[in-house]
Chains A and B, each alone.
Chain A
Amino acid sequence: MSARRLLVLGGIALILTGMIFGDIFAIFTLHQNAARVGANLAAAAHAALAGKRGEVFANFQNVGSFLENRGTKVDTHVHMIDFGYLALLLAVLQPWVSFRESAKKKLAWVFLVGGWLLPVGVFLIHYVGLSYSPSKTIGLASMAADLGGLLVLVVTVACLFGLWRYGPQRGTTGVADSLLADRSASGQILFVGGLMLVLLGFLHGAYYAGADLYRQEARDCALLSEMSAGAAAGASTVVDQALGEYGELQGHKAVNIAAHAHAIEFGMLAVLLAFFQPYVRLREAWKKRWAAVLLLGSLSLPVCVFLEMRYGLVAGGIADFAGLLVVVALMAMWMGILRYAGALDAPSEPGVIAGAS
């Protein structure tokens, strides 16, 4: 197996695991955690109302702990997927990385070890804490995560160095890379669909920033002021009303940001997958079907997440199903790539492009 295919398979495996983890997190942890954060904020506001200063700090400490739990889960999900994207990007660039194939394969393995170590380490931070750590401030899980990040950084810099070394050899190499030259229907569907999703995500982000972001930011601070001022004045109705509005505002912000981010991330994924369609060993009709399923899921998820505030659990359920569609389509492509053993996989030596026509 060439370094390129290793990075493709490893990258898609990272993306798949990150997505499945994200789905599990969204269903079993996210909402429960948000409810606990809200409950502790309400408890802090009511403690202020009752004049209990100590309880205020205790409740904010709990909020901090729940936010750390949530933050490490989100970081695990995001880093797994982003390292998967980076692996796919490096896979595309492999023919221009001027190292021997054996060295490129070693680099690919080191990248994948780092790509797994960081998110797993981040996930464990909340559970391991400072146990058995030689340091008083950084836990073992954090150290493992940092080591993973360092490995990924070293391999990325090494690949950049390889790209730089390739420069002087340009005149002696093949003219085109078969993966980039591919114009199959499935690849075109993914490329165009992916670009449209990225554009849609940007348009939504621009609209949100222009119409809602500054207003919501101001409202966020105004509600916290109302809450504390109501507590200072002993007005429990003001505190409760502000708490209710604050929760709703956080929901609005979360769905807008999630819709924007997921549309762009799924769009980028589709564009990246378009490059690797020649590796997918399935009949063209099936490749087209899986491309369509992936795009359908990629569009439905951000749209339904956006509609979650209006249509509640129905939209949330469809969004989860859309996420499942993306996962299934990605898994089908991953298996197709695993089955592949053709000419494109012939390992290339420095300056020789595999599968060049």
Chain B
Amino acid sequence: MSGSRRLLIIGGIALAIWGMSYGLWYAVFAEHQALDNIGGSLATGFAAAAERNTAAMETSLDRYREAKYIYDRQVDAHGHWIGLAMLLIVLGMAFDRIHFPERFKLFLALGLFAGAVTFPLGVLLQTFSHAAFPRAVTIAGSAFVIAALAGILAGVGRRSTALE
């Protein structure tokens, strides 16, 4: 098995295990609390509005905003890690269809793997900080994935005889 193929398959399996473990931890210890917090703060905000208590209403809606922001990103990170892991494994199995020299294939595989790890990581980091850095990590990760996919597609379209 070539180095690029091994990187994609083993990296993909490792990423899938990481994504599933994260999802399991999240489902058991965090998700129900997060959903209760989202639903509860929204209902409380509207109830405060019914009592014409503007301060309590705003506090509850702020809590809703923050809880929803974090929940969306935690679920997205889990889903994207597993989805990208499956893509890595599938492409790893088909990497002999890419008509590029092995060095370049390894470069593409590295780019795809790096993007698959950092893109959801950047999404998750946004739950800790609203600064620019986590968003930059997310953008860089997704750019790696897109560039590597475009490269792989070009390698499939390239004539195999070009290497001979």
B45 with A228: CB separation less than 8 A: yes
B146 with A195: CB separation less than 8 A: no
Query: Counting CB contacts under 8 A, is A346 at the interface?
Result: no
A53 with B52: CB separation less than 8 A: no
Query: Counting CB contacts under 8 A, is B30 at the interface?
Result: no
Q: Given A47-B50, A64-B39, A192-B153, do A209 and B142 touch, yes or no (CB 8 Å)? A: yes
Query: Counting CB contacts under 8 A, is B18 at the interface?
Result: no
A56, A57, A268 — which one has the most chain B CB atoms within 10 A of its CB? Answer: A56
Stretch at the interface among A3-11, A19-27, A196-204, A308-316: A196-204
Alpha-carbon gap, A252 to B147, bound state (A): 27
A196, A217, A227, A231 — which one has the most chain B CB atoms within 10 A of its CB? Answer: A231
Alpha-carbon gap, A129 to B69, bound state (A): 30
Query: Counting CB contacts under 8 A, is B49 at the interface?
Result: yes
B47 with A192: CB separation less than 8 A: no
A168-220 residues with Cβ-Cβ distance < 8 A to B are: 180, 183, 191-192, 195-196, 198-199, 202-203, 205-206, 209-210, 217, 220
Alpha-carbon gap, A7 to B68, bound state (A): 39
A180 with B57: CB separation less than 8 A: no
Q: Which residue of A lies closest to B65 (CB)?
A: A221
B61 with A275: CB separation less than 8 A: no
Question: Interface size class for chain B?
Answer: 35 or more
Query: Counting CB contacts under 8 A, is A66 at the interface?
Result: no
A195 with B149: CB separation less than 8 A: yes
Alpha-carbon gap, A64 to B51, bound state (A): 22
Query: Counting CB contacts under 8 A, is B43 at the interface?
Result: yes
Which residues of the partner chain B approach A47 to less than 8 Å between Cβ atoms? Answer: 46, 50
Alpha-carbon gap, A224 to B38, bound state (A): 13
Alpha-carbon gap, A196 to B138, bound state (A): 22
Which residues of the partner chain A approach B48 to less than 8 Å between Cβ atoms? Answer: 228, 232
Q: Given A48-B50, A229-B54, A229-B57, do A56 and B43 touch, yes or no (CB 8 Å)? A: yes
Alpha-carbon gap, A53 to B45, bound state (A): 10
Which residues of the partner chain B approach A106 to less than 8 Å between Cβ atoms? Answer: none
Query: Counting CB contacts under 8 A, is B13 at the interface?
Result: yes
Which residues of the partner chain A approach B91 to less than 8 Å between Cβ atoms? Answer: 271
Which residues of the partner chain A approach B86 to less than 8 Å between Cβ atoms? Answer: 85-86, 89, 268
Partner of B50, one of A53, A64, A202, A264: A53
Query: Counting CB contacts under 8 A, is B124 at the interface?
Result: no
Partner of A224, one of B13, B45, B47, B96: B45
Which residues of the partner chain B approach A268 to less than 8 Å between Cβ atoms? Answer: 86-87, 90
Q: Which residue of A lies closest to B149 (CB)?
A: A199
A191 with B97: CB separation less than 8 A: yes
**In the complex, given contacts A56-B49, A232-B52, A232-B54, what are 20 additional A-B residue pairs having Cβ atoms less than 8 angstroms apart?**
A44-B43, A48-B50, A50-B50, A60-B42, A89-B86, A180-B94, A195-B149, A199-B146, A205-B142, A206-B143, A210-B139, A217-B72, A221-B61, A228-B45, A231-B46, A231-B49, A232-B49, A264-B83, A268-B90, A271-B90
18 contacts between A and B (CB under 8 A): A51-B51, A53-B47, A56-B47, A60-B42, A60-B43, A86-B86, A89-B86, A89-B90, A153-B20, A191-B94, A192-B157, A195-B149, A199-B153, A202-B145, A206-B142, A206-B143, A228-B61, A232-B52
